[in-house]
Chain A
Amino acid sequence: MDDAPPNPWLSWRYVESNWTELSDQLTIHTTLTLQAVAIALAIAFPLAVVARNVRWLTRPILGLTGVLYTIPSLALFALLVPFTGIGRTTVLIGLVVYALLVLVRNILAGLEGVDRDVVDAARGLGYSKLRLLWGVEIPNALPSIVAGLRIATVTTVALVTVGVVVGYGGLGQLMFRGFQSNYRAQIATSVILCLLLALVLDLAIMLAARAAMPWARRRRAS
């Protein structure tokens, strides 16, 4: 056993000699996450607005999103593979579905939580429905929407790794290969990169939200 070659958890040499592969998978991981969250946001917004305005649709939309969210990612990929094949599309659809559910719930909660008096005041000022939504309700719901966006992004980064089952898992691909060949440095490095990516994206959204909501900062300062 003592003759076994060293198998360290962290090795700078591994990072140096495999940087091309690491950065390739990191790029795949990042673009997949951003694309999934962006598409999910684009679908979630109208869906949440519909769920709020059309009362009889609220329960079905929330129920369906809840059921879909309960289905494990591996099962969802398995359900998609026969139709969308192995590769990027399958992973992307799965990621969009999960991010969608988090976003719809948070946007809806945000819109529901807007102060009734504020809405009444805006209506009294003669705001049209659309202007009320854009100018009053969405800015007021923004903290809840941003919270949902952060959760969705962080979970998506983690979820991309499950894509290994269809051969497209970004950094998960490296974790899995490291597992198969018992290569500790490969596993540890890709796990660390994955966590860093989640942290960086989370911070970026938080900072962007702070820049977009100057009133929230002022309130805290006073």
Chain B
Amino acid sequence: MTIVVVMEQVPDVAEELAIAPSGTDLDRDAISYVVNEYDEHALEEALLLAETSGDEVVAIGIDATGELDQALYTALAKGAQRAIKLTGDFEGTWLSTRTAARLLAPVIEELAPRLVLVGVQAPDDLDGQLAPTLAALLGWPHASVVVGSELVNGMVRVRKELWGGITMLLELALPAVLGIQAARQAPRYVPVSRVRQVMREASIEVRDVEVTSDLAPVPVRLRFPEETGQAELLTGSASEIADRLIELLRARGLL
């Protein structure tokens, strides 16, 4: 049986981000991509599930960046058995979560998995819509903010986080879609030599897909947060700090 993991590449925020002249997108030439952190957890959870159940793990992603291969090869090196990338004419388009889900759903359906694991959110999907949208399109049950899962008696039993650290244990009929917040253990390290070996020996399946017009919102403007003042760090001896503190409070009319 099959477990599908959806992998998305997102801009690496360690690098400096810039907005493209169009004003509606990041300057894609100046940024580099990393795998969405939550997708790494989804992959880890899938691999852990498969280690006990013997399922085949299929990593799948939309190659909106032209650099998805690296992420998929890494997934293969970590233990996924298949990797599929969806290619198409995405140049200059911002793929909304809904559009992404529409591209992914038919391919996932064809794979007939018993579980679909998706990162609970992504930098461009802070509202965490991918998992529920996929579930709706596929007509399968769904749980998000999942922090652990287990296949039991033809069901999947998941731990889902609620407000205030309360966890709820749920059972879902299969097939199901899970939005993974955290895998049971930290995503594993994969040695570079194994990634390189996989790049030589394994291959990534390619499916061409087409973006059809849908109800996706249209971005009008992208903006960085405005700087709103800076914190000042007080240093020096205790009395110096105290003097400075008094000065600051006085300046604001608080003393």
Whether A associates with B in a native complex is no
Chain A residues at the B interface, C-beta cutoff of 8 Å: none
Using a CB–CB cutoff of 8 Å, the interface residues on chain B facing chain A are: none
